[in-house]
Amino acid sequence: MVRKLVYILVFLLVPGGVVLAQEGQAVKDSLEREYIFLEGDTVPRSAIDLEEVFVFDRLKFDSREERVRYYILKRKTLKVYPYAKLASERLTELNRRLDLIESRSKKRWYTKRIQKYIEEEFTDELKKLTRTEGQILVKLIHRQTGTTAFDLVKELRNGWRAFWYNNTAKIFKISLKEEYHPESVHEDYLIEDILQRAFAADHLEKQPSVLDFDYATLSNKWKKSNELKK
């Protein structure tokens, strides 16, 4: 939220004494430069840094089927994103705590404790996900953490458990090794488009991706690609 701009009284040093600027007026120095203060700041500014605003293109679809697929993908993405965001936050907190623990045995104990907590917190909810929702979640976990779900399981459990989890997931056509590539996979770009629009509309709480890509660049790339196909 843009912080409220407030003008405050500022002392201007001039020969022969001190002059106070009236409240509510712009404050200028001897070089006639205007300064402003943001609420909570103590350092005057000559300009205000504004957040970047992206103007989204209007959604266009070549067919009714394409429109339906997009909105189904949107519903599923908005549903599972909070789980990916929370997983990222849990992982960040886990790594922060582990960095403070020197003993290996205590690190293992703490890791098992967090793993048990996460399982108890999410298991029932995650069981309700469909196959496609589960696969989208796996991709978004990679988007948020930079690590595949397979590697997270391997790190927090062990290699055999990760292998077993992955092969079990394959039965349901879900790969825990799936990565997020909006620069090369069109569905991943559509997921990113859905997220960015939801962030802008405050429908989802924004959490930047740790992956190296720029949404505006991706949009231009896929727009040109679609134009060449026509």
The predicted pLDDT at position 151 comes to 86
pLDDT of residue 122: 67
**What separation, in Å, do the N-terminal and C-terminal C-alpha atoms of the chain show?**
41
pLDDT for 3: 36
**DSSP assignment of 143-196:** HHHSS-HHHHHHHHS-HHHHHHHHHHHHHTT--TT----TTT-HHHHHHHHHHH
- Mean pLDDT by 10-residue block, N- to C-terminus, for the chain (230 residues)? 30 35 47 59 61 70 92 96 87 82 84 71 75 92 90 74 72 84 96 95 91 91 75
The pLDDT assigned to 211 comes to: 94
